Structure 1
Amino acid sequence: MPFEDFNTAQPDPAIEAEIDGLLEELTLEEKVRMMSGHGFHYYFTQVDNRQFGQRAYAAGSGCERLGIEPLYFSDGPRGVRHKEATTCFPVPMARAATFDLDLEERIGRAMGVEARALGVTLSGNICINLLRHPGWGRAQETYGEDPFQLGEFGAALCRGVQTHNVIATVKHFAVNSVENTRFKIDVSIDERTLREVYLPHFKRTLDAGCGSVMSAYNKVNGDYCAHNRQLLTDILKNDWGFKGFVHSDWVLGVHGPDAVEAGLDIENPEGVKFGKRLVAAVNEGEVSEASVDDSVRRILRTQLRFAREPDPQEYSVDHLACEEHVALALEAAEKSIVLLKNEGVLPFDRESLSSLAVIGQLADVENLGDKGSSRVTPPYSVTILEGLRRLVGDHVDILFDDGSDHDRAVTVAENADAVLCVKGFTWREEGEFIPGDEALEDDDPNALSTSGGDRHHLRLKPQDETLIARIGARHSKVAVALVGGSAIMKNAWHMEVGAIAMTWYSGMEGGTAIARVLFGERVPSGKLPFTVPRDADHLPFFDPAALAIEYGPLHGYTKLDAEGLEAAYPFGFGLSYTQFEYGAAEAELADDEIIVRAQVTNTGSLRADEIAQCYVGFPGSEVGRPVKLLRGFERITLDPGASATVSFTLTPRDFAYYDVASKSWRIENIRHAFYVAGSSRTDEDRAAFLDTPAHWPDLSFPA
């Protein structure tokens, strides 16, 4: 990978010398102009009918006099945002459920190809904000609750997109996990929690060579993120040695030219708070020209390094939503589906079923995710109903009812051999919060004043819960396909149905994938990238209207473990149409690394994939550690009756905690527990134990 050393190696001396010369030639006004985007307001209001994401926007850099091109920006997390039709992949939360890093890197490469075909040189496609609470509206855009998994997926997507010389942006830095009040909320957080829980995934992605960072809207400990010197300068640029540039989130991400002194390099999409105000601030001594020069150097360093790497291929619009990329979207959708319950209902048998009732409006609508900055408009999308009809053809009579009339829907269900209820959410109920809703270009503009936002509760709509329960009470073969971006509580109806599958916002080929899994042409293999509790009160406090909130060190499975609470569906959980058995874990020290192994056996009758997970526990810790933390995962394929040994290599850093007093990472001298299991619901009887190697407590890692 040509850019993996971007933040870890010394900058190219030739490029740095070239930048020295450019800085001498550039006027202050030209430097400041490079520190913001240009043209967005014109295109948005005069050309694109106030619709966002219709083109690649000039988002920093650029000096026509010296022949320097601007950077051209596009979102997003599930495909390249543009008025042209591009590939729509499943949302990142769905892709996280695959636990397939190779697949995520291949998706990144496809996004990089389509970005280059559309003139994009800066991509905002890596969203790795931690899912502190599943009610967060933009949960679908990230990869889940665990910092280790977030970092591995962020790094994989980064490697993929940057293969094609597109500068990747990782966002939103940092501690951004409330949507409705994202422009105002102030998050109080202690330094250890910040370093151990909310930042490691960002560092992992930057260590993979990510070239830019987008700051978040919210405040952290009293300072807006774009003005937060601790985040942008002390940690990002000084402690981590980040070599690239930081740009703001769009429109309301900057509050004054003083953000430059905090470490912000570009204001997007226009120079509203920078521009003339920044020139004046420099001339009046409020902002140093040295800080401006540092920002321009970072912009040019990144731009020149990426622009001068040889292109691996040629790019054209023929690559947009091409056959290869659509096949990737289908593969991701198939691997993402998580089977949560199955009491002999699935897979449906095409040979024995004469009719299948499909209940629920969401089966027959395009439902790709929210309509905010991550929206993608593919050339087509396959609905669940269409996917089922294509798959079964004339073999099974598909009886569809939108569920609006409960009595009618129950009657349709009772007259079928089996039932599929499709329930969940759309862009109206969750996603990026858009006041006034510019996302309604193809809908009635009077239909809704806003779209998206945080969820106030984790249940389905009451009428949907009632209908599922009624159908389940009258039919013995009912499956439920849930559509959404995060956890959905099932307490009110799960006992009434025989099967439940989480199908997410599954992309342009989602209907094809869901049909294949439901009818057994593919074996479900996805695992939950978050915890679903038995009671919503077991989760951290969450208020979509909060203007101030405190974040502690525990959430998700770490909180339930610490409080001795059992999850309804634990992190990493997912069933299959076959069964897997885990042997006891083994751990040994080898060359200053700890190798953890376990045998996994397919005890069922089908060839299938399993996702083995490695957790490290900290019994006896005196500094306050979680009960256990994810430290590895591997996706394996096993034939019926076959076994394989999974192996995980852990380094000293995997055991470290952040010591605030020394401002470094340290390792306790304790006995560690090692678990290999199919979810975070681990078995103590199959754990391995190993004392900290004698010299490890003497190690210290930089902050």
Structure 2
Amino acid sequence: MSSSNVFAMLSLLLLSISSCAGAAAIDKRLPVPAGYVAAPYYPAPHGGWTSDWSESYRKASLLVQNMTLAEKTNITAGTGIYMGRCVGNTGSALRVGIPQLCLQDGPLGVRNTDHNTAFPPGITTGATWDKDLMHARGVALGEEFRGKGINVHLGPSVGPLGRKPRGGRNWEGFGADPVLQGFGGALTVEGVQSVGVIATIKHFIANEQEMYRMYNLVQPGISSNLDDRTLHELYLWPFAEGIRSGVGAVMIAYNAVNGSACSQNSYLMNGILKDELGFQGFVMSDWLAQISGVSSALAGLDMTMPGDIHTVPLVLGESYWMDEYSRAILNGSTPVDRLNDAVTRILAAYFQMGQDQNYPPPNFDTNTQDAEGPLYPGALFSPTGVVNEFVDVQGNHAEVAREIARDAITLLKNINGTLPLSGNATLKVFGTDAEKNPDGINSCSDQGCNKGTLGMGWGSGSARYPYMNSPIDGLNTRGANYQFFNTDSFPSNSNPSPSDVAIVFVTADSGENYITVENNPGDRTSSNLNLWHNGDQLIKDVAAQYSNVIVIVHTVGPVLLEEWHDLPSVKAVLFAHLPGQEAGDSLMQVLFGDVSPSGHLPYTIPTSEDDYPESVGLVYFEVGQPQDTFTEGLYIDYRHFNKAGIKPRYAFGHGLSYTSFSFSNATITPVTPLTATPPTRPAKGETPSYPTTIPPASEAYWPDNFNRIWRYLYSWLDKSDADAAAAAANSSATYPYPEGYSNEQKPGPPAGGAQGGNPALFDVAYDVSVTITNTGSRAGKAVAQLYVQFPSGISFDTPVIQLRDFEKTAELAANQSQTVQMRVTRKDLSVWDVVSQNWIIPSVDGEYGIWIGESSDTLALKCSTASGSCTGNQTSPV
């Protein structure tokens, strides 16, 4: 047995033991607060009713008509953890030409492989505020996943939204605003799928902390309790944008929403995703998130990953689906059309991306870096063969990665033009973050440590570095005059000189909760919002000895700066976020003035963690189901700070440049006349016709002389089991269907009508243009941010301002101008009405303020929808 196989089995056993911790299940649940309801919504809507997917559904439905029961159930589930080359491997239907589908992490690059690019993660991409780069990164990701033979890219992540500043996986998304997340997610989806890879938008929904997110024998997963308006206006917004872009897959989260697990929450999957948002692809579980068989199928789950049951030792090779799904069809507990629709959705996504035409098979193995090894590492005895072909998929993608890392760098403070540095500056460099991990850049599994240059957080959203271009590498390439002190404590031998410039590198890390790093179990519980590794003290010690100090922060999210920010010696502060593999040269281009910094914060930086509403704190252990109630509603991040009148250290959207810009000649032009409610939604188109007759039991019999792999999950039943299930369908016993269950297809809610919702929601209400002029002496890029202020006197409580669009200029030379175009849609001016269950414009003729500026707290240019005019030098609304 190879070492990689031993490691796989040990990991498997440890995961099984942790699942079974505690001798008995604790069924006690803390009550969900009154008013937070997980309403039933049945049946699962059939897919295929939008014209843009009709041809793919036609192909898929023809195929499904010719598939056996076992072939169908084989497509809907994984074959087991560690039971194939990829992190997720579906069953196949080779008789009709459908191979196993390979599903693989992650949002910033191909996880656990080689010759790949480690791109900057979502939070860094969001900090660029550059739509072109968001799309280019998606294309590059798609090319690498396709090059490795991966069918389904498990990204992008737009949930968590970043409600909790200490949440472990916020860095995988694009920022703490639904519109910034929405553009980042949708443009990534479009880029990935442009090369034929199925994208997966995740994690649906309200998965805002890592601790206690998963169901196990000891405790149900945490329940995120939120009202319907908050769901629609914040957390659902970026998912709607991704679905509107045609995303092929949605991944369900681990947690519950309003007391019902996402993996069997019919309101979320059937009602929201498949009916209101018109989602045409397939819904998959997160890994081991499925907690039931029939219930999850009825609620709209289409695929379970990796196939195993989460509450029994995984070594047993048990599944809620596979053979149990075959049994559930034969005994009549799951309607035949539910299975047919699930399989059709999966195959329609396959055809929609053209994967039936010359799509490469997997050429890597996520379980080992060896060329040869076990084909099924989760089995004690597995056939072996070539598992890694070491295909280089990097292309020129390092250029995209470097440009994102560079254009995300956010200059927060720059006193007396300390930056950019002169080429002959004498530099003293402090902090271990400046140089690569001395143990090796990939020495920590899934980047589960904070050692050396911090380029990404940890967990399944990470990737191996092909190399790490560290800041020290960048200084060496520059031929800079520097001395490096590779320590996080101030050294006694740095010999300060008045002409020295001190550069201090500091970090803050987080990740997924199956790894604990320095007592932080994913979420930042031990570190809170403080810098890691003595960072605050190091900066203060350096500032006490040097008169010109530059602080460079690699961080997953907001950190507190108050201990040292206002020290006279601290002249400049840069947030380099998480730069991926291109940490060095990208930073040098900004430090030495090759380019002006053009990044802007994708979140707010507070002066104290107490500035946040108490409800966005982490929820700790409770006996029963932990309850996380979103009592702050719409008021997260800058929305909260503005409402509470709290001045943060740095506002959402803040970012300085080496030059300056003016905004002028703004215009607002009405495009689509508005009404209080949107036009009536289009009716659903025709969907495939599915038989409802239970197939013969023989379709689930084991094939003759089949060579079974131990612990591999199969969809067949022994003949006696299949026959007994078929006989049960004719018995008087009936399955206890959930409350509100129906198998009668619905016409769909008023807010639906197409992918993403009623297409009228995305009609452009106003075109807005503004001329941006570089009024400084250096070249640079500007970001125009557009915020909407709702009319006063309406009956809906709305945040003071809300981001609705943004646009980044090309690099402008001194005195050069560019006119940028932005738009405001019907949805941008609407609120979600919980009574009519529709988007409404609360004041059609009221004055909506359209504010434009470089950050959320420097808005001086206002356009009025009522007067149709724009005026500069206005008093900012916040």
How high is the TM-score relative to the length of structure 2? 0.71
Instruction: Identify which of 671, 676, 681 aligns with 2:852.
Output: 676
Residue in 1 that maps onto 2:694:
none
Q: 1:614, 1:31 → 2: CA distance? A: 48
Residues 61 and 213 of structure 1: CA distance in aligned 2, closer, same or farther (over 3 Å): farther
Deviates more, 1:67-76 or 1:578-587: 578-587
Judging changes above 3 Å, is the alpha-carbon distance between structure 1 residues 140 and 574 closer, same or farther for their aligned structure 2 residues? same
CA distance in 2, matches of 1:176, 1:450: 18
Out of 555, 575, 593, the position equivalent to 1:484 is 555
1:226-261 CA-to-partner distances (Å, cap 9, x unmatched) read 111111000110111111100111134444431111
**Equivalent residue number for residue 698 of structure 1:** none
Structure 1 counterpart of 2:79, from 2, 17, 38: 38
- Residue in structure 1 matched with residue 510 of structure 2 by the alignment: 430
Closer, same or farther: CA 412–509 of 1 in aligned 2, 3 Å: farther
Count of residues in Structure 1 that have an aligned counterpart in Structure 2: 658
Q: In the superposition, relative to structure 1, how do residues 528 and 462 fare at CA in structure 2: closer, same or farther (>3 Å)?
A: same
Given candidates 686, 697, 703, the residue that maps to 2:861 is 686
Query: Aligned AA for 2:98?
Result: I
The verdict on how the C-alpha distance between 1:10 and 1:418 changes in structure 2, with shifts beyond 3 A counting, is same
SS in 2 for 1:608: coil
CA distance in 2, matches of 1:269, 1:318: 24
2:468 aligns with 381
Q: Tell me how far apart the structure 2 counterparts of residues 472 and 186 of structure 1 sit (CA, whole Å).
A: 45
**8 Å CA contact retained: 1:152, 1:204:** yes
Equivalent runs, 1:461-540 vs 2, <5 Å: 461=532, 463-496=534-567, 497-540=570-613
Cα deviation digits, residues 548-599 of structure 1 (max 9, x gap): 1112221011111112222211111100111123347543424533222333
Which aligned pairs between 1:102-181 and structure 2 lie closer than 5 A? 102-129=132-159, 130-181=161-212
- Specify whether residues 312 and 566 from structure 1 end up closer, same or farther in structure 2 by C-alpha distance, changes over 3 A only: farther
| Structure-1 separation of matches of 2:867 and 2:77 | 50
User: Residue 234 of structure 2 contacts residue 634 of structure 2 at CA under 8 Å; is this kept in 1?
Assistant: yes
Larger strand fraction of residues: 1
Equivalent of 1:87, from 117, 128, 132? Answer: 117
Residues 412 and 71 (structure 1), Cα distance of their counterparts in 2 relative to 1, 3 Å cut: farther
CA pair 665-431 structure 1, distance change in 2 beyond 3 A: same
Q: Is the CA contact 1:458–1:536 (under 8 Å) kept in the aligned structure 2?
A: yes
Say which SS state the counterpart of residue 103 (structure 2) adopts: strand
Where does residue 660 of structure 2 map in the other structure?
A: 579
Amino acid at match of 2:545: R
* Paired residue type of 2:767: I
Q: Which amino acid aligns with 2:118?
A: C
| Shift in CA distance, 321/348, structure 1 to aligned 2, threshold 3 Å | farther
User: Deviations along 1:135-169, whole A, 9 cap, x unmatched?
Assistant: 11111100011111111111111111111111111
Match of 1:340 among 403, 408, 412: 412
Q: Deviations over 1:292-336 (max 9, x none)?
A: 111111111111222357679999989835351111111111111
1:629 equivalent in alignment to 2:712: no
Q: CA deviation at 1:470?
A: 2.2
Tell me, which stretches of 5 or more residues in structure 1 are unaligned?
Answer: 1-5, 44-54, 438-446, 694-703
1: CA distance, partners of 2:582 / 2:263 = 38
The correspondence of residues 137-286 of structure 1 with structure 2, limited to 5 A, is 137-183=168-214, 184-271=221-308, 272-286=319-333
1:453 to 514, 520, 523: 523
The residue aligned with 2:835 is 661
2:783 to 611, 615, 638: 611
Give the whole-Å Cα distance in 2 for the aligned partners of 1:322 and 1:461. Answer: 32
| Cα distance in 1, alignment partners of residues 620 and 552 from structure 2 | 30
Higher alpha-carbon deviation: 184-193 or 358-367:
358-367
Distance 1:306 1:499, change over 3 A: same
Cα displacement string for residues 624-681 of structure 1 (whole angstroms, at most 9, x for unaligned residues): 1111111111111322123333332222222011111111100011211111100011
Residue identity in the other structure for 2:70: E
Shift of 1:32: 1.6
2:354 is aligned, of 286, 303, 307, to 307
Identical residues among aligned pairs (%): 31
Per-residue displacement from partner, 1:401-441 (whole Å, max 9, x unpaired)? 123443527x455576100000013xxx4111224x7xxxx
Give the alignment of 1:588-599 within 5 angstroms: 588-592=669-673, 593-599=765-771
Is 1:10 matched up with 2:85? no
Q: Which of structures 1 and 2 has the bigger CA Rg?
A: 2
Do the aligned residues in 2 keep the contact of 1:613 with 1:676 (CA within 8 Å)? yes
Q: Deviations over 1:370-422 (max 9, x none)?
A: 3311221232111111111211x1xx43211123443527x455576100000
Distance in 1 (CA, whole Å) between partners of 2:186 and 2:334 is 34
Q: State whether residues 179 and 454 of structure 1, in contact with CA within 8 Å, keep that contact through their aligned partners in structure 2.
A: no
Indicate whether 1:399 and 2:454 are aligned: no
Quote the Cα distance in structure 2 between the aligned partners of 1:270 and 1:357.
53
Q: Who is 1:371 aligned against?
A: 458
State the one-letter code of the partner of 1:417.
D
Matched to 1:576, the amino acid is: S
State the shift of 1:221 in Å.
0.4
Alpha-carbon separation, structure 1, partners of 2:818 and 2:53: 44
Deviates more, 1:563-572 or 1:118-127: 563-572
Q: Secondary structure at the match of 1:433?
A: coil
| Aligned counterpart, 1:565 | 646
Secondary structure of the residue aligned to 2:156 is strand
Separation in 2, partners of 1:574, 1:103: 18
Q: Which moved more, 1:217-226 or 1:527-536?
A: 527-536
Alpha-carbon distance between aligned partners in 2 of 1:279 and 1:315, rounded to the nearest angstrom = 28
> 1:62, 1:590 → 2: CA distance?
49
- Name the CA shift for 1:384/1:14 in 2 (closer, same or farther; >3 Å): closer
- TM, length-normalised to structure 1: 0.88
Structure (1/2) with the larger helix percentage: 1
What is the DSSP-based 3-state SS (H/G/I as helix, E as strand, rest coil) of the residue aligned with 2:412?
strand
Mapped to 2, the partners of 1:85 and 1:405 lie a distance apart of 36
Q: CA deviation at 1:537?
A: 1.9
Gaps of 5+ in 2: 1-46, 215-220, 309-318, 364-388, 437-452, 674-764, 869-878
3-state secondary structure, aligned to 2:294: coil
Classify the secondary structure of the residue corresponding to 1:560.
helix
Distance 1:582 1:404, change over 3 A: same
Q: Distance in 2 between matches of 1:390 and 1:240?
A: 50
SS of the residue corresponding to residue 100 of structure 2 reads strand
The C-alpha deviation readout for 1:49-82, integer Å capped at 9, x for no partner, is: xxxxxx4345335212332112111111111224
